[in-house]
Amino acid sequence: MSDTAFTVSTDDRLEVRDVTGEVERALPDDTSGTCTVFVEHTTAGVVINEAEPRLVGDIESFLADLVPDEGWRHDELDGNADSHLRALVLGASETIPVEDGKLALGRWQSVLLVECDGPRERTVRVV
């Protein structure tokens, strides 16, 4: 499979965006096997979970509560240590089965980009 990228613009510092459709559109129609979805940034992550709006809000609240905004040594450099630490917990990629050009996700699974240092433009690769 070829390497395809798309851009996601985020509006908030901590934001969860469903990118399942963009990932599927990046897949060739006849592809079967696996694909890796990778975000090219150290302050954003990619996860698989349900995209239900209340759960999305819960994910954002959970990450905000898990990692305090301030008090980190890296903040002396550029003030975004919390973003790096949240992304560290999430991970930068997911590998997903593909069948006939479609993601083989479970019924409630979606591919989510988690922005931890927005608003920004993020590049997501599908390989």
At 79 the three-state DSSP class reads coil
| DSSP code, position 30 | T
* Domain span including residue 24: 4-126
Total domains in the chain come to: 1
pTM confidence score: 0.95
Distances (CA, A) of 48 to 30, 88, 95, 104, 105: 23, 15, 10, 12, 9
Nearest CA-CA partner of 94 in 125, 66, 120 = 125
Query: How does pLDDT run across 36-85, given as a tens digit for each residue?
Result: 999 999 999 999 999 999 999 999 999 999 999 999 999 898 999 999 99
Nearest CA-CA partner of 1 in 48, 38, 34 = 34
Helical packing angle, 81-90 and 53-66, nearest 10°: 120
Which residues, 6+ apart, have CB-to-CB distance to 77 below 8 Å? none
Read off the CATH number of the domain in which 66 is found.
2.60.120.460
Query: How does pLDDT run across 11-34, given as a tens digit for each residue?
Result: 999 999 999 999 999 999 999 999
